[in-house]
Amino acid sequence: MGPSHGLAPSCSPRRRMGRCLPTLPAPWGCQSHLGQARPLRTDQRQDQEPALVPACTELRLGTDLCLHRLPQRPWSSLQPGAQDQASGWVSRTPPSRWMRSCTLGSCEARGMCWACQPCRGFRRFFFSEQNLGRSRAEATRELVAKLNEAVQVCVYTGDITEELLQDFQVVVLTASSLEEQLKVGTLCRKHGVCFLVADTRGLVGQLFCDFGENFTVQDLTEEEPQAAAIQHISQGSPGILTLREDAHNFHDGDLVTFSGIEGMVELNGCASRPIRVQEDGTLEIGDTTTFSSYLRGGAVTEVKRPKTVRHEPLCAALLQPRVVVQNPQEVHRAHCLHQAFRALHEFQRLSGRPPQPWDPADAERVVGLARGLKPLRGTKGEPLEEPLDEALVWTVALSSAGVLSPMAAVVGAVAAQEVLKAVSRKFLPLDQWLYFDALDCLPDDEQLLPKPEDCKPRRCRYDGQIAVFGASFQEKLSRQHYLLVGAGAIGCELLKGFALMGLGLQGRGAVTVADMDHVERSNLSRQFLFRPEDIGRPKAEVAAKAACHLNSDLQVNPLTHPLEPSTEHIYGDNFFSLVDGVAAALDSFQARHYVAARCTHYLKPLLEAGTQGTRGSASVFMPFVTEGYRGPLSEAEASEDAPHPVCSVRHFPSTAGHTLQWARDEFEGLFCRSAETINCHQEALASLADGEPRLLPLLQVAVGVLRQRPRNWQDCVLWALGHWQLRFRQGVEQLLRHHPPDEVLEDGTHFWSRPRQCPQPLEFDASQDTHLIYVLAAANLYARMHGLLGSQDQPALREMLQSLLLPDPQHPDPIFPNDLTSTEPDPEQMERLREALRDWSTGSPLEPLRFEKDDDSNFHMDFVTAAASLRAQNYGIPPASRAQSKRIVGQIIPAIATTTAAVAGLMGLELFKVVGGPRPLSAFRHSYLRLAENYFSRYRPRAPATQKFHHLSWTCWDRLKVTAGQPERTLKSLLDHIQEQHGLRVKMLLQDNAVLYSAGWPPEMQAQCLPLRVTEWAKQKTHWVPRPGQQVLVLTLSCEGEEDDTTFPPLHYELRQSGSPTTSVELCVPSPQ
């Protein structure tokens, strides 16, 4: 007997359209969206440039075949622009540059053209009307190639043969038949080629991965191997390792290695050792009985373990699917979606076409085909006695003819990340099927579902979207006006999505893009609307122009003013009155809070997203439906790397973050602030004479061991070497004179005890790369600051350093001694400083250097990385790599195009709901994903919290509205109305932070203000000047009897020119009964 099914026989097709529609999944766990429990930041200061991501990501589902190859055939004979007649490959660059490549294949026949399927244009942003009649692969190749010149993009239009596939590392099939998937999958399996299938059918997406029988993943997660500084290691069996910091994330069984240990040197560079974590946080590291005694320093570092993954071939995985889900409750739904896709393939095979949009007959036939499929089997081969959710299959079939840009973005982004996993063996691949559905975009009410006649093709670029939502919805979408705040990585993806979806095309519809930044080179790896020639131009203007190329009907208004309090005369009442919603792609929590507050003030929907590496989130905030935006108030609150105490950074560092902050401060002091100070040295000396000794250290290090302004490269090297000695040897020796290693405090504890680490001075050694690079970078920066030529010749610098002589290191002879306890300059120091600065003032002004992390030729990051590494050596701290240093010092949020595309697609799906009309809370979704770990969560937002006071109740979306009237009401009239209408006795009324009224004021003060018009008193009291077009004056209430945690809704005092004060009160909260 076959498995039972989910619907009773009496459940009719019409009933399936109503109450029998599938129940949406409940919230998944307690995952937090952006800006709440585990905040993520967004994308405008990011710096990771992944290989292949731009090309592979932007392909998404736009072509039928994507093959990634490492060429194995002789290319030396193939010239640029020539075509290999045997294979159809086209060479774009000289053979010497064939590093990696992506091949676009098209399974369409030569006669099959874009014109035959006009709806493809709305979701495939590489196509335009000019491409009608061309092969999709050919039309795509040139534009894909422009995204990244390092990626070789080729076109193949022949048959997919076994010989062809042998040359590739990865093959991706999109929009392909099941027969073709089985054929190509079998050939890929035979030759060890990683194989992916990616597809979307309306509001459901499918992804399949087969990386072979033995695929080894070298790095399972995105996290860096954890490292910690060592405090002590005992000799024994087992040896006990004590960490400098009590808190750590090591676990039993972790493999670790050691470095930088003095004394017990046998551990340095040893084979990885397993550890056991003790209750007190110490680590058992194995037998150390025969090792030397531990002296000081060193670091323990986690060694990541590889893992071998075993995938089943497609032919087996079809009947025995392993699905990626976040909890067991989702398995059944994923299996039903799996059967739905199989049934759709069968329908296509039998009918030669997909189901017609919202055709009940075709949908019923798909359900019948799904009913007749062989039952699925479990992981052990046992038959799965699962009912088929026929209502789910029915709904999938009704909308399966459509193809949506946001769905393609989400599924394509995940597929692109899987390609990167295949070629890099970094991060765990999908195991093996992923089903993503956004059926929650459809209305719950049966009467609001699209009608077949409304979803028929119009032979326009939006037919794929019309097939899902109908032509009337498309018309409504085209008349929306949205504000996009931020044209960074997510902002560009959103703008692309808006163009493809047809948002803001006609009437009052438009997209206004607001961004004050300019295009930087590092933007090019993740913001595909920008090109190298755009560097230095305003992002908003470049993005707007590029979006118009994607859709010439799109109405885009670029604005280069930031959205902040100072620009409320631009983004004011009149502006927001024309806006239907806001999409935010911002890089700071402060900016997010401000934009969210504007949306709350104007009651506008807010779509918001952020990414951090392979992690991303997307959120939607609907007036009166969901809670308002809640996130950290600042970057420091959100970051695990909060600002470091100054004392720790200067004298007692214990983490790599401390050393990097110190190095960054060094750069700023040496090459920027010192130049600015010397340029105005007369004022600086006057400040010193006036008793401001804070400039002494700054001027001292700027002059250093030199007695006169540098004249050549050798002088700059001498200064850099002297400063090396000052910072990493003499400064440490001086600190140890003040606090000897054996110092004991009054309470009997050692001064140098955790978390303080006793430093050790370094000896300069030009043969050590870090020492040499520090001097090279410092000397070049010093030369640049003085307008001199530098040098990049490291061998010549090593030779020069051997001949340079510095003053006696025991008696350094800078302008004045570096005394940590000195606070007052003496007359002799002042005179010597004046003499030196007179020489500095004879030449041209110095050039203050502004830190720039993205230029690898300017020595900025070289200096900071080397300085931090040397500082770490002083204190026995594990140093940060250059990449880590760049991320931390530049406050860079790692960004990759895959995650960016995914969250933008998720925002697009929520936009469908927002535009579609009133929807309940259950329709909306916050999303959180971790592509590296195959974690995908979509969950319902919280409802807005309700506050109560006596008879009143309200949420963050409510406000009290009172019109000013004509003539305008007085302050007394306003207070009386609030009491009459709401029973609230106002004890304090504020405008921003200024008090307009207080019940505690003396009678004469009240007598002065109460008879005045509200705006007149506001002008007198706070010097308020209404902005042009300002319609509302926002006031804050405090009332008698309120609790400490009561926050009354804002009072919107509407500055209207008509109406009567006795009839003009409008209230958005309940009045007393």
The string of DSSP letters for 118-178 reads GGGGGT-TT--GGGTTS-HHHHHHHHHHHH-TTEEEEEE-S---HHHHTTEEEEEEES--H
**Both structure tokens of 1000:** 């505690």
Contact 161, 105 (CB under 8 A): no
Q: Would you place residue 670 in the very low, low, confident or very high pLDDT band (cuts 50, 70, 90)?
A: confident
pLDDT reading at 999 higher than 70: yes
> Nearest Cα to 616, choosing from 323, 223, 905, 203?
905
- Residues 6 or more apart whose CB falls under 8 angstroms from that of 586 comprise 42, 44, 485, 486, 592, 595
Q: Which pLDDT tens digit goes with each residue over 447-472? A: 889 999 999 998 888 999 999 999 99
554 CB-side CA count, 13 A: 28
- Ranking 412-421, 679-688, 860-869 by mean pLDDT, the lowest is 679-688
- Average pLDDT across the chain, whole number: 79
Choose, from 154, 194, 209, 647, the residue flagged as catalytic: 647
Contact 21, 391 (CB under 8 A): yes
Average pLDDT over residues 856-876: 90
State the virtual CA torsion across 1018, 1020, 1026, 1031 in degrees, nearest 10: 30
Average pLDDT over residues 970-995: 90
Rounded CA separation 189/204 (Å): 27
pLDDT of residue 741: 86
Average pLDDT over residues 1060-1068: 38
Q: Please report how the helices 713-725 and 794-803 are oriented relative to each other, as an axis angle in degrees rounded to 10.
A: 70
pLDDT of residue 909: 97
pLDDT reading at 500 higher than 70: yes
pLDDT of residue 414: 96
Instruction: Identify which has the larger pLDDT, 628 or 810.
Output: 628
pLDDT of residue 901: 94
Average pLDDT over residues 741-747: 82
Asked whether the CA dihedral 848, 850, 851, 855 is positive or negative, the reply is negative
Would you call 465 exposed, middle or buried from its count of C-beta atoms within 10 A (0-12, 13-18, 19+)?
Answer: buried
pLDDT reading at 892 higher than 70: no
Rounded CA separation 587/40 (Å): 10
Rounded CA separation 796/106 (Å): 56
Contact 258, 300 (CB under 8 A): yes
What is the identity of the amino acid at 262? Answer: E
Would you call 296 exposed, middle or buried from its count of C-beta atoms within 10 A (0-12, 13-18, 19+)?
Answer: middle
C-alpha R_g of the chain: 34
pLDDT of residue 8: 29
Q: Which pLDDT tens digit goes with each residue over 435-444? A: 999 999 999 8
Q: Would you place residue 533 in the very low, low, confident or very high pLDDT band (cuts 50, 70, 90)?
A: confident
pLDDT of residue 54: 28
Q: Which pLDDT tens digit goes with each residue over 216-273? A: 998 888 887 888 888 899 999 999 999 887 667 898 989 999 988 889 999 998 898 9
444 CB-side CA count, 13 A: 9
pLDDT of residue 684: 52
- Ranking 520-524, 597-601, 977-981, 993-997 by mean pLDDT, the lowest is 520-524
DSSP SS3 for 198: strand
DSSP 4-26: PBSS-TT--HHHHHTTTSPPPPP
pLDDT of residue 993: 85
pLDDT of residue 479: 94
**Both structure tokens of 536:** 């230095």
Q: Please report how the helices 897-916 and 405-424 are oriented relative to each other, as an axis angle in degrees rounded to 10.
A: 160
When mean pLDDT is compared over 128-137, 560-569, 653-662, 892-901, the highest value belongs to 560-569
Rounded CA separation 530/957 (Å): 38
Rounded CA separation 725/731 (Å): 8
Other beta carbons within 10 Å of 865: 25
- Ranking 113-117, 182-186, 842-846 by mean pLDDT, the lowest is 113-117
Query: Tokens 């531990």 identify what position?
Result: 294
Q: Is the pTM of this model over 0.85?
A: no
pLDDT of residue 23: 34
Rounded CA separation 1066/959 (Å): 10
Q: Which pLDDT tens digit goes with each residue over 765-811? A: 998 999 999 999 999 999 999 999 999 999 999 999 988 776 554 33
Contact 975, 986 (CB under 8 A): yes
- Whether 599 sits among the annotated catalytic residues: the reply is no
pLDDT of residue 31: 32
Average pLDDT over residues 479-500: 93
pLDDT reading at 839 higher than 60: yes
pLDDT of residue 34: 33
Q: Which pLDDT tens digit goes with each residue over 41-94? A: 333 333 333 322 322 333 333 334 555 544 333 323 333 333 333 222 233 333
> Nearest Cα to 85, choosing from 133, 141, 152, 157?
157
Q: Would you place residue 591 in the very low, low, confident or very high pLDDT band (cuts 50, 70, 90)?
A: confident
pLDDT of residue 340: 97
pLDDT > 90 in the chain, percent: 44
Q: Which pLDDT tens digit goes with each residue over 1008-1058? A: 899 999 999 999 888 888 888 888 999 999 898 888 778 889 999 998 643
pLDDT of residue 751: 82
Other beta carbons within 10 Å of 755: 14
Instruction: Please list the alpha-helical segments (H only) found in 551-680.
Output: 573-577, 589-602, 635-638, 646-650, 656-668, 674-679
Going by the DSSP 8-state scheme, the letter that residue 245 receives in this structure is S
**Both structure tokens of 810:** 């025991």
Contact 133, 115 (CB under 8 A): yes
Q: Would you place residue 158 in the very low, low, confident or very high pLDDT band (cuts 50, 70, 90)?
A: confident
Average pLDDT over residues 721-745: 88
Contact 355, 362 (CB under 8 A): yes
pLDDT of residue 806: 63
pLDDT of residue 108: 43
Contact 140, 59 (CB under 8 A): yes
Q: Would you place residue 608 in the very low, low, confident or very high pLDDT band (cuts 50, 70, 90)?
A: very high
- Give the bridge partners for 217, in sequence order: 307
The Cα-based distances of 912 to 34, 318, 392, 840, 928 in angstroms read 20, 32, 20, 65, 19
What is the identity of the amino acid at 785? Answer: M
Left (φ > 0), alpha (ψ -120 to 50) or beta: where does 269 sit?
Answer: left
Other beta carbons within 10 Å of 336: 23
Asked whether the CA dihedral 87, 88, 93, 98 is positive or negative, the reply is negative
pLDDT of residue 101: 60
How much of the chain is helix, strand and coil, in % rounded to 5? Answer: 40, 15, 45
Angle 958-482-436 from CA coordinates, rounded to 5°? 90
Q: Which pLDDT tens digit goes with each residue over 897-954? A: 899 999 999 999 999 999 998 999 999 999 999 999 999 999 999 999 998 888 889 9
pLDDT of residue 88: 29
